[in-house]
């Protein structure tokens, strides 16, 4: 196999990994920034983790709106990379475990059940919006075709 073809093949294999790594690095830095600021300003690092987790779910839910047809590329960078680095289960698990140790069951419920409900709601809302948008596009196309036939 020619060297240039081999190099192109290797680059094509490594590019998605590179994009995921860059996205995840950026997401992790943003997460650390938000959680640190929440800890310093409000003494509530757990709320910072809650915020970044919900933000990452919003990124995942709204990705189809702004991917402009480049779904695979955006999926790698934004969903697997940035949103994956921005959100965290390990930090959340440690905070919930610490809250459970202190018998703060309200906080445990908020972080487990409350966050789950809100996150699923975000995705459901984004999905409903996307469906409405697609139905609107289909209706417009059908109307244009009907006018063309008439």
Of 90, 144, 147, 150, the residue at the interface with another protein (CB under 8 A) is 90
Of 47, 64, 91, 107, the residue at the interface with another protein (CB under 8 A) is 91
Of 6, 7, 8, 21, the residue at the interface with another protein (CB under 8 A) is 21
The span from the CA of 27 to the CA of 29, in Å, is 6
- Residue 87 binds to another protein (criterion: CB under 8 A): yes
Contact 80, 20 (CB under 8 A): yes
Q: Which CB atom, from 68 or from 90, has the smaller least distance to another protein?
A: 90
Q: What is the largest CA-CA distance in the chain?
A: 72
Q: Which CB atom, from 13 or from 147, has the smaller least distance to another protein?
A: 13
| Phi then psi dihedrals of residue 57, to 5 deg | -65, -35
Q: Total number of residues binding another protein (CB under 8 A)?
A: 46
């Amino acid at each position: 196999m020619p060297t240039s073809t081999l190099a192109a093949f290797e680059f094509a294999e490594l590019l998605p990994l590179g994009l995921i790594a860059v996205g995840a690095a950026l997401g992790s830095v943003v997460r650390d920034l938000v959680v640190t600021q929440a800890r310093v300003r409000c003494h509530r690092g757990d709320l910072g983790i809650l915020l970044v987790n919900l933000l990452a779910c919003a990124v995942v839910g709204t990705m189809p709106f702004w991917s402009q047809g480049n779904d695979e590329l955006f999926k790698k960078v934004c969903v697997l990379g940035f949103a994956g680095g921005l959100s965290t289960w390990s930090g959340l698990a440690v905070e919930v475990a610490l809250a459970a140790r202190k018998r703060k069951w309200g906080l445990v419920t908020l972080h487990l059940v409350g966050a789950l409900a809100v996150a699923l709601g975000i995705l459901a809302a984004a999905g409903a919006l996307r469906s409405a948008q697609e139905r609107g596009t289909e209706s417009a196309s059908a109307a244009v075709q009907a006018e063309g036939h008439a």
